[in-house]
């Protein structure tokens, strides 16, 4: 028995420091936030237990419901777009023969830049006197208020975040493509399968684990978007880009309603968890 337990115990000792850090900085704060959501905690330190009153108030708050709608719409725009861009670039890079490292580095470069820096640059690009409207003026299409139009602000922000963040997902999918045995594709080519048939019947099924990972991390990232919105729109115009994280920020650090802010955070966590489980179900749990 001692011999059989030696390897698991040794492995546990190696991962113990990270488990302790995870418990201290992730698990314990999450439990604290759950407890805080049941109180009327103020920044002064005064608090009182209110039970589920914060949750009842939440779903009667029109500002929260508007932020929830904005968040869901943004996720629905951003996640499919970034997965398609990442998958498309991964497929292209997988077929590149020369200067693979250069192209990977160029496409991955936006990912390592600051969100604030990217937001400032793209705010100038979207401006009425910016680069994009300057190009549209040459085509006699007139200036477009990308960040001032309530119908365009979320797609405009999604484009910026896709440009900023698709590089990481691209590398994950590229690694998944590299793990597919070339013999499968060669056999399908010999049997007369065209490129689309090979992609649909061989590449896509074998890429499911990588796609599941990318979908989950991109969904979580979309639900947690804040700094891009804070820099580029400030939640405007007319709260058209005012999402749940921005509402949490306002309640916690602008109005100092810590208990109510924690309630928004818990609802956001539950929402992300449910969406992740749905994605796992749709992508076939046995294959992931």
More confident residue, 96 or 241: 241
pLDDT tens per residue, range 184-216: 888 988 888 888 898 999 999 899 889 989 999
- Residue 87: inside a domain, yes or no? yes
- Residue 40: inside a domain, yes or no? no
Cα–Cα distance for residue pair 81/73, rounded to 1 Å: 13
Percent of the chain with pLDDT over 90: 47
Cα–Cα distance for residue pair 168/213, rounded to 1 Å: 11
- Residue 59: inside a domain, yes or no? yes
Residue range(s) defining the domain that contains residue 83 = 54-287
- Check whether 284 has a pLDDT greater than 70: no
- Residue 175: inside a domain, yes or no? yes
Average pLDDT of the chain to the nearest whole number? 89
pLDDT score at 286:
47
What CATH number is attached to the domain comprising 128?
Answer: 1.10.3720.10
Q: What's this model's pTM, rounded to 2 decimal places?
A: 0.88
Contacts of 93 by beta carbon, 8 Å cutoff, 6+ apart: 100, 103, 104, 107, 170, 174
The total number of structural domains in the chain stands at 1
- Residue 254: inside a domain, yes or no? yes
Total number of residues shown for the chain: 288
How many C-beta atoms surround the C-beta of residue 145 within 10 A? Answer: 16
More confident residue, 27 or 122: 122
pLDDT tens per residue, range 117-166: 899 999 999 998 888 988 888 888 878 889 999 999 999 999 999 999 99
Mean pLDDT of 32-41: 90
- Residue 188: inside a domain, yes or no? yes
- Residue 47: inside a domain, yes or no? no
- Residue 21: inside a domain, yes or no? no
Contacts of 189 by beta carbon, 8 Å cutoff, 6+ apart: 198
pLDDT tens per residue, range 61-107: 999 999 999 999 999 999 999 999 999 999 999 887 777 788 888 88
Residue 42 β-bridge partners:
257
């Amino acid at each position: 028995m001692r011999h059989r337990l030696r390897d698991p115990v040794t492995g546990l000792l190696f991962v113990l420091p990270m488990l302790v850090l995870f418990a201290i900085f992730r698990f314990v704060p999450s439990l604290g936030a759950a407890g805080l959501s049941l109180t009327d905690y103020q920044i002064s330190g005064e608090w009182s237990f209110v039970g589920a009153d914060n949750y009842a108030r939440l779903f009667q708050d029109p500002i929260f419901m508007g932020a929830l709608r904005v968040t869901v719409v943004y996720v629905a725009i951003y996640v499919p777009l970034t997965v398609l861009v990442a998958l498309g670039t991964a497929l292209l890079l997988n077929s590149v023969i020369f200067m693979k490292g250069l192209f990977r580095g160029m496409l991955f470069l936006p990912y390592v830049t600051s969100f604030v820096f990217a937001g400032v640059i793209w705010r100038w690009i979207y401006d009425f006197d910016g680069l994009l409207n300057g190009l549209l003026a040459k085509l006699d299409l007139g200036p477009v208020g990308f960040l001032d139009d309530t119908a365009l602000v979320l797609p405009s922000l999604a484009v910026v975040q896709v440009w900023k963040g698709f590089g990481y997902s691209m590398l994950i999918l590229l690694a998944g493509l590299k793990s597919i045995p070339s013999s499968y594709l060669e056999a399908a080519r010999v049997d007369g399968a065209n490129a689309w048939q090979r992609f649909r019947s061989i590449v896509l099924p074998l890429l499911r684990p990588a796609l599941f990972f990318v979908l989950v991390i991109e969904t979580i990232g979309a639900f947690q978007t804040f700094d891009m919105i804070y820099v580029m729109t400030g939640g405007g115009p007319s709260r058209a880009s005012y999402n749940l994280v921005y509402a949490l920020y306002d309640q916690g650090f602008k109005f100092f309603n810590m208990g109510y802010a924690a309630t928004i955070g818990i609802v956001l966590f539950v929402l992300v968890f449910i969406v992740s489980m749905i994605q796992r179900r749709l992508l076939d749990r046995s294959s992931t």
